[in-house]
Structure 1
Amino acid sequence: MSVGTTRTGTVTSAIPARLDRLPWSRWHWTIVVGLGTVWILDGLEVTVVGNIASRLSEPGSGLPITSGEVTGIAAALYVAGACSGALIWGRLTDHYGRKKLFMITLAVYLSATALTALSFQTWWFFLFRFLTGFGIGGEYAAINSAIDELIPAYYRGRVDLVINGSFWLGAVGGSMLSIVALNTHLLPKDVGWRLTFALGVVLGLVILVVRRHVPESPRWLLIHGRNQEAERVVSAIERRVRAQKGPLPRPHGRITIHQRASIGFGTVARTVLRDYRRRAVLGFSLFIGQAFLYNAITFGFGAILTKFFDVPTGDTGYYFAVIAFGNFFGPLLLGKLFDSLGRKIMISSTYLLSGLLLFGTAWLFGRGSLSAGTLTACWAVVLFFASAGASSAYLTVSEVFPMETRAMAIAFFYALGTAVGGISGPLLFADLTNTGRVGDTVLAFQVGASLMCAAGLVAALLAVPAERRALEDIARPLTAVPAEAKRPPSKSA
């Protein structure tokens, strides 16, 4: 059967093993830069908008909008765009391929961000905040799929964690950039905030140029009947790595695939929610736990600092930069342990430890034992572990489901976590952290800590030992031919 240039049949291939046995090389750094650095843009985007809300609402900003509309309606539309984008692009990524979609979603993000900078009416700003989120939501599915399928199994955990954690480098940059953008001695009120969005576009264009050199996932090509193209891609990668590293080790293991041009949505849903029910529960738990812990801290951090410690509103960006650094260094320093000590012990321990530390922070805060500086230090320590755990949630759902469902699974759990974190989380924590009562803020911390600990316990029971294992061993592709049913292949790769 053929679909365009696609010719499906039964094929036996060593392509997954050939990718997994590669040593780390400059080519892999190209993948990390081309695909992973977009999270820096996401962190910059989200942080800048939150920090410039007060400036946008001032007379002379060039936009008739209130601060509440920026942090409320616009933020909700960004979340709604990210959730819907993840689901729509995720399905298309599994159907049409990783490369086509990670180029399209970045183009959507760049276009929407550029048009946000040109906002002249509130409705325009709202529309393009939604479309910016729509593009970013699709990035999560397409990028995490491609990274997991291109990075060797030995390094997959640490690379995935660091890439997802790089969001917080963007958050640091956004905090610092907003301080400059809000300085009217440097930039007029109606120019500074527009330039912050324009800078995001410039950085995104650089990433787009690098991304053009990232190939389609050979695993996706193989399963969708394009095994000759998959062979060309893998051979080209091997030549580049061999030129730098010398002779390559022999690959071990072959897989027989009965290729299909597409997989129905019903098959995807049944696979994730019925056949892999325990792994679905694990994904739900990890995403919801980290969403509530993060909202318990980051959603009300500015209000807590200003209400309880009299920190000037203009100075909260410096405190946020400190906790953002803690978030980034967690995955950076702990990531290797997810590949060496293993997924189960590291996922469960980072969730449990961050939850217990937040309980301790709540106790100290309730006693009045903390200052603005020491509270920020406590938050940074909590989020050092929580960020590694939260990043491992994305890693988990991207590697524990079959190849044909990968992007959709990432999209589904991302949309769930984003919806919980961006809708119910703020509704709950806004009421608790804005009252000015110590007991309410303590309760907010305790709710986030409890759900994080609960997710840690679920991980201790259900986490999959995926460290250093091929994706096909963790979750057998739906198109793979069982060993006992194998027949002589029609072709090989």
Structure 2
Amino acid sequence: MANQTLSQSHRSLVPARLDRLPWSRFHWLVIVGLGVAWILDGLEIQIVSQAGYQDSLGLSNGQVGAVGSVYLAGEVIGALVFGRITDRLGRRRLFIITLGVYLIASGLAGFSWDLWSLLLFRFVAGLGIGGEYTAINSAIDELIPSHYRGRVDIAINGTYWGGAALGAMANLYLLSDNVPENIGWRLGFFIGPLIGLAVIGLRRHIPESPRWLMTHGREEEAERTVDDIEARVEAEGKKLEPVPDSKALDVTPVPNVGYIQMGKIFFGQYPSRSFLGFSMMVTQAFLYNAIFFTYALVLENFYGVSKAHTSYYFFPFALGNLLGPLLLGHLFDTVGRRRMICFTYTLSGLLLLVSAYFFHAGLLNATTQTIFWCVIFFFASAGASSAYLTVSEIFPLELRGQAISFFFALSQGAGGVVAPFLFGHLIGGANNPNPDRTPLSWGYVIGGVIMILGGVVAWYFGVDAERKSLEDIANPLSVSRSSTPPAAAGAAAAPA
């Protein structure tokens, strides 16, 4: 393979050719092969959130929350490390490596013998999943045509809840009296690796992102990759219209971007977009990790639901989270990103405030509390998924993986890592016959207000990225638009 040097310029139609493709089996391959990352994450967090290991290892509620926080801390570090590597070495290498890290660590968690061994294995599993987020989001957004990018990205992020439902289904048996207490939760940690092994072969058939190849001096390989994708589409009997030369980009590959230059791009060239990405990621991370990691503890401590039966209440909760992105996702491509993000964030925050009042007043039971969660997260799930879409598409291609990792790390550090630990302590000690509802009620109020603020920020700082090419949303660092009208080039390169 002959690679072009970084200084060599070339004209490329790769992005335009990818964006004009009709939907095909190739795009389903991308969804199935890469989208499993979110299913695995949902499965992992569900296994942990039901805390089947709590009694076996003698853990307090606060320590259960710490297990969740350590996993999220691993995701943060994994995203930062692998995010930079995926921008340097490509998407394809990384989504194979990160899956391997996850498979090994998650399997080892099933052999944990005390709190510290469990924390170690969960941390390493988090490293793998954090790396998955950066490589997978980058690859999906760069391979899916612009007309479908929003709904596809949001729907794939929503499949997290399919994995969570699978974990709950497994726990119905694994945490029941039919399985020894010290065995069931261990078996649960082996489910994810089994699923991951099944998709490794599938990922081998997904090519490197042609957009990444184009901007890294490998134009010939990028063209061959697009040729192959187009051949797959045409083999299905679909006719492809030629792409006019006016859509060509003048590409001059640039060296790898250093941290100082990256900071200047994020906060100098795109300050409002950086503020938008940070606020969206922090608010959804705080809400989700606070509720999801501790929902089983709430059902057990405030509503007297047994540990084995919490899964029954989780299924409708997961269904609402899954249906939100699936049913609302297309509106992010039609009604628009900014409007839909503001709507989903604000409405879910308001509904959480209402539920906090009813919870504090003692007017809810396990069923009505679950109904509230279902409705709240029907909207919050679509909004949270759009946060990952937003940070992936509003920055230059050469920084896509690092942008996802950077804002993911900030959000999890500011909201995600703190939330499970905080809410675990707000719930109080285990086996308390009359737990105080006030601390947790205020926790729900904080979560609701944070989500509303996220919606307001999205309304004023949001980017109308629907149905636009990634290169029109944020001009790649390596692209000169001399072949396009000046007005279009200026609009594409301008910060939000």
* TM-score over 0.5 (shorter chain): yes
Which position in structure 1 is the counterpart of 2:155? 162
For residues 42-441 of structure 1, the aligned pairs below 5 Å read 42-51=41-50, 53-55=51-53, 57-58=55-56, 66=59, 71-120=64-113, 122-185=115-178, 187-252=179-244, 253-434=247-428, 436-441=435-440
**What is the CA–CA distance in structure 1 between the aligned matches of 2:293 and 2:279, rounded to whole Å?**
20
Output one character per residue of 1:408-464: Cα deviation in whole Å (capped at 9) or x when no partner.
Answer: 000011112222333322343334333833333322221111110011001000110
* 1:38–1:207 Cα contact (<8 Å) kept: no
Please give the per-residue CA displacement for 1:76-95, whole angstroms capped at 9, x wherever unaligned: 32122111110000000001
Identity level (%): 48
User: Is the CA contact (8 Å cut-off) linking 2:346 and 2:452 kept in structure 1?
Assistant: yes
Deviation at 1:37, TM superposition (A): 1.3
1:453 aligns with 2:452: yes
Paired residues, number = 477
> Counterpart of 2:159 in structure 1: which amino acid?
S
Q: Which amino acid aligns with 1:148?
A: D
User: What CA distance in whole angstroms lies between the structure 2 residues aligned with 1:119 and 1:426?
Assistant: 21
Task: Tell me by how many angstroms 1:399 deviates.
Answer: 0.2
Question: Which sits farther off after the overlay, 241-250 or 191-200?
Answer: 191-200
Q: Distance in 2 between matches of 1:218 and 1:195?
A: 40
Contact 1:55 1:182 in 2 (8 A): no
Q: Distance in 1 between matches of 2:374 and 2:59?
A: 31
* Counterpart-to-counterpart distance in 2, 1:254 and 1:461: 33
Residues 426 and 72 (structure 1), Cα distance of their counterparts in 2 relative to 1, 3 Å cut: closer
How big is the shift at 1:227? 0.4
1:481 equivalent in structure 2:
480
Uncovered stretches (5+) of structure 2, i.e. residues with no partner: 430-434, 486-496
Identify if the C-alpha distance between structure 1 residues 440 and 161 changes in structure 2 by more than 3 Å, giving closer, same or farther: same
CA distance in 1, matches of 2:413, 2:217: 36
After superposing the two structures, state which structure 1 stretch, 118-127 or 241-250, moved more: 118-127
Q: Partner of 1:478: helix, strand, or coil?
A: coil
Contact residue 295 and residue 429 of structure 1 kept, 8 A: no
Q: TM-score, normalised by structure 1?
A: 0.91
Deviation at 1:109, TM superposition (A): 0.8
- Whether the 8 Å contact between 1:303 and 1:434 is mirrored in structure 2 is no
Does structure 1 conserve the Cα–Cα contact (< 8 Å) formed by 2:171 and 2:308? Answer: no
Q: What CA distance in whole angstroms lies between the structure 1 residues aligned with 2:343 and 2:27?
A: 29
Question: 8 Å contact 2:49–2:292 — kept in the other structure?
Answer: no
Cα deviations by residue, 1:157-186 (Å, 9 ceiling, x for unpaired): 00000111111111111112122112342x
Against the structure 1 CA distance between its residues 67 and 184, is the aligned structure 2 distance closer, same or farther, given a 3 Å change threshold? farther
The residue type equivalent to 1:203 in the other structure is: I
Deviation at 1:146, TM superposition (A): 0.2
CA contact 2:70–2:417 (8 Å) conserved in 1: no
Asked whether the equivalents of residues 161 and 319 of structure 2 are also in contact (C-alpha less than 8 Å), the reply is yes
Matched position secondary structure for 1:12: strand
> How far did 1:304 drift?
2.9
CA RMSD of aligned residues (A): 2.2
Q: Look up the equivalent residue of 1:249 and give its one-letter code.
A: E
- Pairwise CA distance, 1:342: 0.6
Q: Give the structure 2 partner of residue 31 of structure 1.
A: 30
Distance 2:66 2:369 in 1: 30
Aligned to 1:490: none
Find the counterpart in structure 2 of residue 7 from structure 1.
5
Q: What is the distance in 2 between the residues matched to 1:370 and 1:30?
A: 44
Contact 2:338 2:459 in 1 (8 A): yes
> For residues 61 and 459 of structure 2, what CA distance do their matches in structure 1 show?
41
Q: Does the CA contact (< 8 Å) of 1:287 and 1:417 recur in 2?
A: yes
Q: Would the aligned equivalents of 2:282 and 2:416 in 1 still touch at CA under 8 Å?
A: no
How far apart, CA to CA, are the structure 2 residues paired with 1:69 and 1:313? 17
**Conserved 8 A contact 1:48-1:174:** yes
8 Å contact from structure 1 (residues 23, 245) kept in 2: no
Looking at structure 1, the residues matched to 360 and 109 of structure 2 have their Cα atoms a distance apart, in angstroms, of 41
* Cα distance change of structure 1 residues 429 and 145 upon mapping to structure 2, 3 Å threshold: same
Alignment partners' CA distance in 1, 2:449 and 2:354: 12
* Cα distance in 1 for residues equivalent to 2:201 and 2:291: 36
Give the conservation status (yes or no) of the 8 Å contact 1:295–1:448. Answer: no
Quick check: 2:138–2:400 contact (8 Å CA) kept in 1?
Answer: yes
For the structure 1 residues 77 and 358, does the alpha-carbon distance in structure 2 shift closer, same or farther, using more than 3 Å as the test? closer
The CA distance in 1 between the partners of 2:446 and 2:89, in whole Å, is 41
Which region of structure 1 is more displaced relative to structure 2, 440-449 or 471-480?
440-449
Counterpart CA distance in 1 for 2:402 and 2:168 is 32
Given that 1:291 and 1:421 are in contact with CA atoms closer than 8 Å, whether structure 2 keeps it comes out as yes
Following superposition, the deviation at residue 7 of structure 1 comes to 2.6
Asked if 2 retains the 8 angstrom alpha-carbon contact of 1:347 and 1:389, the reply is yes
The 10-residue stretch of structure 1 (403-412 or 436-445) with the greater mean CA deviation from structure 2: 436-445
Question: For the residues of structure 1 that align with 2:93 and 2:361, how far apart are their CA atoms?
Answer: 54
Alpha-carbon distance between aligned partners in 2 of 1:428 and 1:233, rounded to the nearest angstrom? 48
Say if 2:320 and 2:377, in contact at 8 Å, map to a contact too: yes
Instruction: Identify the range of structure 1 (227-236 vs 165-174) with the bigger mean alpha-carbon deviation.
Output: 165-174
Name the stretch that deviates more: 421-430 or 125-134: 421-430
- Partner amino acid, structure 1, of 2:138: S
Q: Deviations over 1:280-305 (max 9, x none)?
A: 10011111211232245334423333
Contact conserved, 1:328 with 1:387, CA < 8 A, in 2? yes
- Displacement after TM superposition at 1:355 (Å): 0.9
Query: Which amino acid in the other structure matches residue 46 of structure 1?
Result: I
